[in-house]
Amino acid sequence: MRVRRRWLLSAFGLALVVGLLTVARPAVIAERLAGVTFLSLVRAFGWAAFIAAARALRLALLVGRPLGPLKAFGVVAATQAGISVLPFRLGELVLLPLLHRAGVLGTVRGLSFLVVLRAMDIAALVTSAVVLAIATGVRLGTGAAVLAALLSAGFLFVLLGLRLVSRLARSWRCRTDWRRRSLGQVLMVRRELRLRTGTPLQLALLSGLSLAVWAGIWGQTLALVRGMGIEWPATAVLGGVIGSAVSSALPVTTIGSFGTLEAGWALALAAAGVGTSEALAVGFATHLWSVVFTIMLAILGTPALLRRGLRISRANDPEKAARAITGPSAR
């Protein structure tokens, strides 16, 4: 049943992509894709590198030793490449084997890091939406009230979740079936969350880096739009970024979220008076350029992971390690 549902959602996602491509017209997409000036591409790639660096610092801060910033950059770059090209939303799970290769062991630990990163992204996205609402005419008091309500709801959700885990711990502690095993994994995740976000300073740094990530995505998208000769307001582009982020979370499985991302982008820009066909063409073009940047950064970040694997193989084979140090003449 689950497999059938997945394929149905994939078929719907494929139909969505085809429909949106028809509305956007492939020839117009190609024109927008090739029409970006070289200087704007350099700026956009600079923003992409900034985004990857902010994500790497956030991951290194969250995980701690043995994951340094350089290894974290390799992990982040490869993970984002997986998210950009893999179907069925499998890209996020690439983080787990990459963390293992970087020396961070434990599937449950990896999942806990993934949960924290997603929570940070959601909080930063909500904050960006409130800032956008204030900047586009919503009164400051209303925006502050909305932000306070969202933060209170999130805090209440966390408290209720922790209380539920405590209740399950009391009622399932004597079980010997799958419930006890699942409870043990949940408790390990909770422990990791508390360890990694336990100090106010660390939480503030993680939150600041998450906001920097979304600011970078906005800057990269704006650079590409400006490079196409389009003078949409910066706030409209931010609205499109937020709309695409929300729609890409829908359970419609496509390769790299193509289609779902453009649908949210076009809906958000429609509120700013942008035509659907034009918005979709620009959305597909900016999405394709972001995939190119992501793959380039993954290629640049791969050596950090390969060096890790090389050190492990040499440690397991002293004879290879000696040859690597002294050279072939040592024989």
Residues 158-211 pLDDT 10s: 556 556 555 655 565 565 555 555 555 566 656 655 665 567 777 788 889 999
| pLDDT at 318 > cutoff 50 | no
| pLDDT at 237 > cutoff 80 | yes
Measured CA to CA, the distance from residue 267 to residue 172 in angstroms comes to 46
Of 6-10, 46-50, 299-303, the one with minimum mean pLDDT is 6-10
Structure confidence at residue 192 (pLDDT)? 59
What percentage of the chain carries pLDDT values higher than 70?
68
Burial pattern 123-133, b for ≥16 Cβ within 10 A else e, equals bbbbbbbbebb
Pairwise pLDDT comparison (276 vs 259), residue with the higher score: 276
Whether the Cβ atoms of residue 82 and residue 94 lie closer than 8 Å to each other: yes
Structure confidence at residue 323 (pLDDT)? 43
How many structural domains comprise the chain? 1
Single-letter residue type at 131: V
How many Cα atoms within 13 Å fall on the side-chain side of residue 248?
A: 23
How many Cα atoms within 13 Å fall on the side-chain side of residue 224?
A: 29
Measured CA to CA, the distance from residue 310 to residue 103 in angstroms comes to 12
Confidence of residue 213 (pLDDT cuts 50, 70, 90): very high
Give the global pTM: 0.77
Domain ranges, residue 227 = 2-330
Compute the chain's Rg from CA coordinates.
22
Q: Which residue has the tokens 């360890």?
A: 195
Structure confidence at residue 190 (pLDDT)? 60
Structure confidence at residue 272 (pLDDT)? 84
Structure confidence at residue 129 (pLDDT)? 82
